[in-house]
Amino acid sequence: MISEDCAVVRPPVLRPGDAVALVSPSGPTSPERVARGVELLTGWGLRPVPAPNAYARHGYLAGTDDVRAADLNAAFADPEIRGVICTRGGYGVQRIVDAIDMAAVRRDPKVVAGFSDITALQFALWRGARLAGVHGPGAAWRDERTPLRSAESLHAALMTTEDVSVSAVPAEDTFAVRVPGRATGTLLGGNLCMIVASIGTPDLPDLTGAVLLIEDVQEPPYKVDRMLTQLRRAGALDGLAGVAVGQFTDCGDGWDTTIVDVLTERLGDLGVPVLGGLPIGHGPDQLTVPVGTPATLNTETGTLTVSP
């Protein structure tokens, strides 16, 4: 539960002319992969500034831990930088979250956008600064997966103060996952693997009264079962207000037990509303939502509405 003496910090909305740092705190990328994202951000009137080591490579990491942490901290400390857009996820941000200068984050809160491995960064920023963030595509943009609708969704979350509403889509693999009801609470979560990897660390949030967002990619049903079972056994799901189920992309091929079967069984007896079919995650037409702000989940209307 969020304590009364630790208010949520909502960073200022981005405005035309603002500089945004493009940071790679996890896996490596390249200028070619990020070029389309730079084009989009520039078209919105923003000034994308690649971090000094945005295109570094150190095995499966975007540079050594030291340089990735340095890029993040430089962006948080620079008064000219008004937002941090992660280029991509991958793996590695948990290796550097303990080196983040939380005092700098608290002095000058900035919107941090990303998903996948970036869930661990947003958990750390929530723990250290109660900073609300944005769960959405990174700057390594691919139009074939994130078309115009995805771009408009990210733009709205970053550059407007309107509520964000996402509707369940029948074509999504998780659409049949539903437990009737209406829930309100702070929206927290993101990538299921990273939520589970945070168990036992200081960064797993207290989910009492929260609406939990989960999504994942290329995880077979038994692994999703294992992760949800671990969360249950750890007590992490006790006191939830509701569960928002996003995209579970490429998670069911070749298995008799479907991802819908697993999600329904492992979430269906928690005694809270559950809404599947939300186009949030690693799949086509990915939409953006704030995390760390109040949300309402309504299974009757099939919507998740989140404060900016």
Give every strand in the sheet of 133-135, ordered side by side.
47-50, 19-23, 81-86, 111-114, 133-135, 289-291
Q: What pLDDT was estimated at residue 254? A: 78
Do 120 and 169 belong to one domain? no
Helices (H), 178-258: 192-197, 221-233
Tell me if 174 sits within 8 A of 168, measured CB to CB. Answer: no
For residue range 249-285, list pLDDT tens digits in order.
999 877 889 999 999 999 999 999 999 999 999 999 9
Q: In terms of domains, do 153 and 191 share one? A: no
Catalytically active residues, by annotation = 116, 215, 282
Residues 135 and 155 in one domain: yes
Put simply, whether the predicted model's pTM sits higher than 0.85 gets the answer yes
Q: Write the CATH number for 241.
A: 3.50.30.60
Residue 97's domain comprises 19-159
CATH of the domain at 148: 3.40.50.10740
Dig out the tokens for 84 from the structure: 């941090």
Quick one: 77 and 133 in the same domain? yes
The confidence score (pLDDT) of residue 303 equals 98
Q: Report the domain count for the chain.
A: 2
- Bridge partners of 191, per DSSP, are 215
Specify if 119 maps to a domain.
yes
Report the pLDDT averaged over residues 293-305.
Answer: 98
Q: Which of 4-18, 29-43, 111-125, 145-159 has the lowest mean pLDDT?
A: 4-18
Q: Give the per-residue pLDDT at 5.
A: 42
> Domain boundary at 125, 144, 159, which?
159
